[in-house]
């Protein structure tokens, strides 16, 4: 299961890279669009494999929790990762404008930090929803303890740390906007 998660992460970047090469190097717009539409299919493959693995009567472990976390992060942050790669690829290979950079301070930086935390909370909600679904599929508490006792508390700790750092950045970087 762990190797499938690694393969899905690699697959995400391979499909994205192929889409960007098709768009900016080969100028194949339709192919690029089809490949970009295929990026979320990597997540569908991982979800289906995770459900199938547990539906056969297996016990959920930390790797299943990691798969749920990966899915949540991929859905919440995937569009930003695609935009990040697209901007850099367009700049380097198609004469596009320089890539966007996050603000260093001021209200724009505060908004950026709170949006990032909000996206993590979306990832958290999706991951917990997937884990709840996996718990439903397995349907026995003793076979899902790793999700309740490992993955969900882990995500909760990360959410808390991220919130504290976001509040800290709000306080330290909320000075006047850069000109």
pLDDT for 27-86, tens place per residue? 899 999 999 988 888 888 888 888 888 877 777 888 888 888 989 999 999 999 999 999
Contact predicate 129/76, CB 8 Å: no
pLDDT at 175 over 70: no
Query: How many whole angstroms separate alpha carbon 151 and alpha carbon 62?
Result: 6
Closest Cα to residue 43, out of 103, 160, 127? Answer: 127
pTM, two decimal places: 0.82
Question: Domain map of the chain by residue range?
Answer: 2-173
Query: How many whole angstroms separate alpha carbon 79 and alpha carbon 115?
Result: 14
pLDDT at 178 over 60: no
State percent of the chain over pLDDT 90.
43
pLDDT in tens, 138-159: 767 777 888 888 888 889 999 9
């Amino acid at each position: 299961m762990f190797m499938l998660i690694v393969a899905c992460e690699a697959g995400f970047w391979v499909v994205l890279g192929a889409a960007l090469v098709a768009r900016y190097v080969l100028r194949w717009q339709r192919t690029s669009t089809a490949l970009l539409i295929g990026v979320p299919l990597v997540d569908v493959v991982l979800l289906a494999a995770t459900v199938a693995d547990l539906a056969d009567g297996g016990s959920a472990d930390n790797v299943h929790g990691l798969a749920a976390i990966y899915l949540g992060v991929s859905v919440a942050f995937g569009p930003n990762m695609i935009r990040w790669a697209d901007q850099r690829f367009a700049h380097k290979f198609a004469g596009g404008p320089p890539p966007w950079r996050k603000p260093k301070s001021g209200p724009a930086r505060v908004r950026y930090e709170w949006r990032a935390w909000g996206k993590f909370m979306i990832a958290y909600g999706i991951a917990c929803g997937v884990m709840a679904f996996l718990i439903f599929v397995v349907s026995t508490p003793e076979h899902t303890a790793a999700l309740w006792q490992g993955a969900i508390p882990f995500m909760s700790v990360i959410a808390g740390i991220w919130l504290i750092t976001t509040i800290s950045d709000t306080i330290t970087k909320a000075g006047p906007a850069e000109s």
